[in-house]
Amino acid sequence: MADGSPASLASAPISGQVVSLLANYCWVELDRPGPTGLSRLLCTRRSRLGKRGLQICSGDRVRLEGLDWPAGRAAVADLEPRHSLLSRPPVANLSRVVVVVSLAEPDLDPVQLTRFLITAELTAQPVDLVFSKADLLPAEQVRQWCGRAENWGYRPLALASASGLGLEPLRQRLSQPGLAVLCGPSGAGKSSLLNALRPDLKLRVAAVSGRLQRGRHTTRHVELFALAPGALVADSPGFNRPALPEDPAALARLFPELRQRLAAGCCRFSNCLHRGDPGCAVGTNWSRYDLYAQCLADMEADAARGMRRGLVRPSTACQPGGSGLQNPEPGQARRVGRVEPQLDPRLRQVSRRRRRQDSEQLQSLEETSGADDHADELS
Ligand SMILES: Nc1nc2c(ncn2[C@@H]2O[C@H](COP(=O)(O)OP(=O)(O)OP(=O)(O)O)[C@@H](O)[C@H]2O)c(=O)[nH]1
Ligand SMILES: [Mg+2]
Ligand SMILES: [Zn+2]
């Protein structure tokens, strides 16, 4: 075991965690300071990592070689397996995702918020929801938003960075060991929040602009900061439209309130999309149902577009307007067969409208041969 002497340090494998990623370099915080007392090295990436298809993310645990202590440089030789991953912003080995959205400037958009929550839930780590800029809305409206989010299964925190209102409960959650990632739209106040929690960071922030009071993409890359012993927090660049997963069947588990209903046995079908289909007791009478249905419709429209462009493998569950009941599990055909698949007319409308926005080439394909037939052939 390494005892800290120069001899043992020379032989011990040097490892650490990627705390920020630049174009061709990354900063790695060492597990133990080096012989010169240096705790952070600027590292290149060995090309063999790329050849093995390994992409480094902030938060990755890495092994280093080619150490040049006087220059403070090294090269990343290998990646340790990740225990969790957030796809966008890309962060590995996180233990908590904090979705930050502003109550005003820019206004809170429930569809956008739902997409951020879905991305966060995909990590299978605890998800926190922060409503920022609570000082810009009357207290009653702040309470209403918190009540809504509680119905969705979250424990939201409303806060204002400048005054420090509501900051301490967040500090407590973020001070737990592990890596928490702040993510959300540009201008939501993520960096301001970190500045309020750790004023010495002095992270760059910028006023929102334009009619919609959008953010200016001030933070350009993910960076990890220590907040308490063993507790790291990542700031991240804001963006406006998180992607949805490809598989519509995976969506229900990403809504905590729906997950709860499913755990209580509200649906007996294993391949149901819970869209009010006959025989599905989940129903449509829950507060985020419209947002859930819209996400499903968007996923189906994305899949239809991807199939035409040859980007996505056809899947019966992704057919425009499909109810997800057409493809029963083995042994379930008769039981599922009694439930007639419902073609939801609203979804057809969404698909057609989206298709009209496609390229001219796709439009002419629709006009000449009937796009629905073509999509069916492909699937
Ligand atoms: N009124 C008010 N303004 C805030 C609050 N928090 C942040 N702001 C302002 O909102 C603007 C955007 O804040 P940032 O911290 O740069 O937002 P961000 O989420 O880091 O944005 P990106 O880095 O672009 O993703 C700045 O002008 C902040 O001063 C708050 O609690 N109340
Ligand atoms: Mg920022
Ligand atoms: Zn169902």
Across the chain, which has 379 residues, the per-10-residue mean pLDDT values are: 46 88 93 92 91 92 95 95 96 98 96 98 98 97 98 97 95 97 97 97 92 88 96 97 94 96 89 91 93 96 82 37 29 34 37 39 32 28
- The CA distance from 137 to 261, in Å, is 33
* Exposure on the CB side of residue 66, measured as CA atoms within 13 A: 11
Q: Is 305 in the pocket of ligand 1 (CB under 6 A)?
A: no
Q: What is the pTM of this model?
A: 0.81
With respect to CATH, is domain 12-81 assigned 3.40.50.300? no
- The pLDDT, as a whole number, for residue 11 is 56
Give 186 Cα–ligand 1 centroid separation in angstroms: 8
Looking up tokens 């009010």 gives 276
Pocket test for ligand 1, best of 105, 205, 216, 233 (most atoms within 8 A of CB): 205
Domain boundaries, the chain: 12-81, 86-235, 248-378
| Ligand 1 in reach of 190 Cβ (< 6 A) | yes
Ligand 1 pocket check for 123: Cβ under 6 Å: no
Q: Residue 311: its pLDDT value, please?
A: 61
* pLDDT confidence of residue 337: 33
Nearest residue to 131 (alpha-carbon basis) of 172, 166, 164: 166
**Does domain 86-235 correspond to CATH entry 3.30.420.40?**
no
User: Is any atom of ligand 1 closer than 6 Å to the C-beta of 215?
Assistant: yes
